[in-house]
Structure 1
């Protein structure tokens, strides 16, 4: 999602995409209306599961979101709608001619739980279905223009640093490794373990910092995103919702769901997104990427690393 100019005149959103863009603008304080953190989080969840928003009653949605139905009514009115029914029409109209199954019917929490006596492979089947749903979730939210701009930045910026901690350290390492196959001067932000402050101090305006985190967000990653933007570094965020604290300081933000039965945040869809982004960077770089890959293969061959 690309950073846009401040909205000069607020008008009631007419499409799901307009609602999504408005959510990002509100988070970045670039809209003519403001929402509290709780209301912003509710709006972000509604626009990220549009099929569920279209088919569920106000009571069902309120229960799922952990709020009162009156909260949804007030939110709708704040956005310029007469009430929740008027707000919901945006979603229902978008899917009125669509005969596909709604994600709400496919979501992991609606799968019936099997008895313990059934095959252990059910654990893997369920996670597979849930990851597929999460992939569908980020595919419906991809902004082609933002993807191309992000790929261009990742391929051509002087330096690229990637930052993620806890579970997202694995994601950051994977992105760093893949991007390092295509170009030079790519690294984890604090690879030498000297501290992120020292690492960012060595970067210059226009260098790229990729940050990744999802709820519950890691405070230090959000701080890195904020400070990097203030230093003139280009921030690209990979996160879960438009209410994420990583969105406001980012030039581009990409949203990947992680709902699943895994005991922690599911990373499957994040890795698929990462692979797709790397392929796009390689395509954007063209011959330079091919040359870099060939040089890498030559070094691997000369060192007899592979069997």
Structure 2
């Protein structure tokens, strides 16, 4: 069972709203147009200098700041998300001299693939204030404040306050999206699996390490698969149908994480995914998917919601077998005490 989303048609990746042969041909024709670095730069420059209506400005904001959203949405889904008419989107594409929505998605795919997430956000923040003044578009999230140009003590404080508010909203939104039945299934599987292997690479590695540690406190047979080549390959060898792979990845998704999940899936190992991409490669192959938002106006994506979610999971797994958890914690405390693991409070 996979977590449901607000707009079901958003789960149809890279498909035009028109499902007819004509729509397919338009997608094919749009994909043939070359969108190199010079073409993309010219497109962005044109978009910033166009005289747009307020509704079209909101579209321009999404294209510049979150091209992935456009690339993976039908025209109907995008119109619903932004609260505009589909005809507004059609006029917007015409103003940009594009053949239609299919070509808009084509250029947005090129924009999204041009940079990694961190570099993309840095570039947006670096000239965000200038772009806002030229286009008149409100291109920030949350309370309408942009993080660009907030320097000095007061600017740093304001930036922290904005990020704290965004993180709080991200946690609330991520937990609100959880399907109760799905959550129970995930907790039960994590509570009863003979062995749990946790993998998360790059920016997800810290979340994976934390989750493996927390699970290891309340149950046995938990391992974290590192990025160390043969090390995680050796660990995969012993996984079977009664075990579980818990894979964590945020966009851009690590190829190694997907490869491990694909191997596990093909060998009958249940796969649970924690990701921020409903239509991402990890979500598409997992048996159960939890979505945690990582949106942020800062250079770095926010891992607050994923961390909160693995903490909640570990706490609920501890309750699956309360007696077993208590016995496991007692053995853990005895071991730590015998090695004098904790610092003396008098020091």
Is the structural similarity TM-score above 0.5? yes
Check conservation: 1:190, 1:199, Cα contact below 8 A.
no
1:2-151 matches, cutoff 5 A: 2=1, 19-20=7-8, 42-43=72-73, 53=81, 55-56=83-84, 58=86, 59=88, 70-71=100-101, 107-108=141-142, 110-113=144-147, 115-117=150-152, 119=154, 120-151=156-187
Once the two structures are superposed, what CA deviation does each residue of 1:225-280 show, in whole Å capped at 9, x if it has no partner? 11110110010000012111111221110111111133222111111111111111
Check conservation: 2:150, 2:159, Cα contact below 8 A.
no
Partner of 2:234: 198
Q: 1:175 to 1:39 in 2, by over 3 A?
A: closer
Once the two structures are superposed, what CA deviation does each residue of 1:148-183 show, in whole Å capped at 9, x if it has no partner? 111111111011000111111101100000000011
Structure 1 portions without partners, runs of 5+: 5-14, 28-32, 76-103
Check conservation: 1:109, 1:260, Cα contact below 8 A.
no
Relative to its length, the structure with more helix (as a share) is: 2
Alpha-carbon shift at residue 193 of structure 1 (Å): 5.5
Check conservation: 2:219, 2:318, Cα contact below 8 A.
no
Q: What is the root-mean-square deviation of aligned Cα atoms in Å? A: 4.0
Equivalents in 1 of 2:74, 2:274: separation in Å? Answer: 15
Partner of 1:296: 332
Check conservation: 1:108, 1:261, Cα contact below 8 A.
no
Q: 1:69 to 1:160 in 2, by over 3 A?
A: farther
Structure 2 portions without partners, runs of 5+: 14-18, 28-67, 106-137
Once the two structures are superposed, what CA deviation does each residue of 1:17-55 show, in whole Å capped at 9, x if it has no partner? 5x44x655x57xxxxx9999x8996339997x99x7163
Partner of 1:241: 277
Equivalents in 2 of 1:143, 1:41: separation in Å? Answer: 26
Check conservation: 1:44, 1:241, Cα contact below 8 A.
no
TM-score (normalizing by structure 1): 0.69
